[in-house]
Amino acid sequence: MAPILKSPDELQIMREAGRIVAVAHEEMRLAIQPGVTTKDLDTIALTVLGDHGAEPCFLGYAPGEHPPFPATITASINQELVHGIPSDNRVLEEGDIIGIDVACFHQGFVGDAAFTHPVGDVSRSAERLLRATESALTAAIDASVVGNRISDVAKATMKRAGRLGYSVAREYTGHGVGRSMHEEPQVPNWWHSRRSKHKWEDCDLQVGMTYAIEPMLIAGRPDLMELEDGWTVVTKDGSLTAHFEHTVAITEDGPAILTLP
């Protein structure tokens, strides 16, 4: 399926949706500290979205055989890669790292972004992982230019992660964003020169394409499993993970990040 190209006017709406998500990020960053629950953070995000006339994308989302997601954000701690469910019982502790993903609908379009944040003082290894994951996101954004292909974006993520000594999540990808939270194309975090090694479709980057890039780096082995809640994905060996994401538009002047304040 071909990607859906956006007009300049549609990109302006997506930029506002992304700005709302960025405001929610900032409010949650200010609140992250030991003793805060992931449900507290979810409440902050829901309030910010409502104050700006936006609606959460994740709340009630139920793709495939998944149960409806019960919250505004995903909140994934330490070895949890993605899709952690906020709860009053999940209390942040000194030394944790927490990945938070937020997506909203605003005037018919979606903004989607994620970040991973330290809770108080964290280990040097955790700090390195966070820096490396942000660096992989930067490399993938830099590769998002006309003349490149989706495979170039994926390879940029994979190469930066590997150079810094980390695995990437292979089963979970970035994705097109627009009127729906998930559109074509998929934007993986790795690429193999032999198509038989992966299932992703390659395509040329075109002006008007919009997609979410979301590197997910793992300090240990890349083997993952889904918990019984039907959502939370964790590393099998218990190793730390980090997740950063921006929604990006392809323009004639280079990549435009739509999910900044």
Domain ranges of the chain: 8-257
Torsion sign over Cα 258, 48, 33, 72: negative
What sign for the dihedral angle of Cα 73, 59, 177, 1?
positive
Give the Cα separation of 159 and 43 in Å (integer).
Answer: 37
- Kindly state which CATH superfamily the domain 8-257 is placed in: Creatinase/methionine aminopeptidase superfamily (3.90.230.10)
For residue 228, the 8-state DSSP code is: T
CA-nearest of 102, 155, 95, 145 to 125 is 95
pTM higher than 0.85: yes
The Cα 258–Cα 19 span in angstroms is: 7
Write out the chain's pLDDT in tens, 261 residues. Answer: 789 999 999 999 999 999 999 999 999 999 999 999 999 999 999 999 999 999 999 999 999 999 999 999 999 999 999 999 999 999 999 999 999 999 999 999 999 999 999 999 999 999 999 999 999 999 999 999 999 999 999 999 999 999 999 999 999 999 999 999 999 999 999 998 766 566 788 999 999 999 999 999 999 999 999 999 999 999 999 999 999 999 999 999 999 999 999
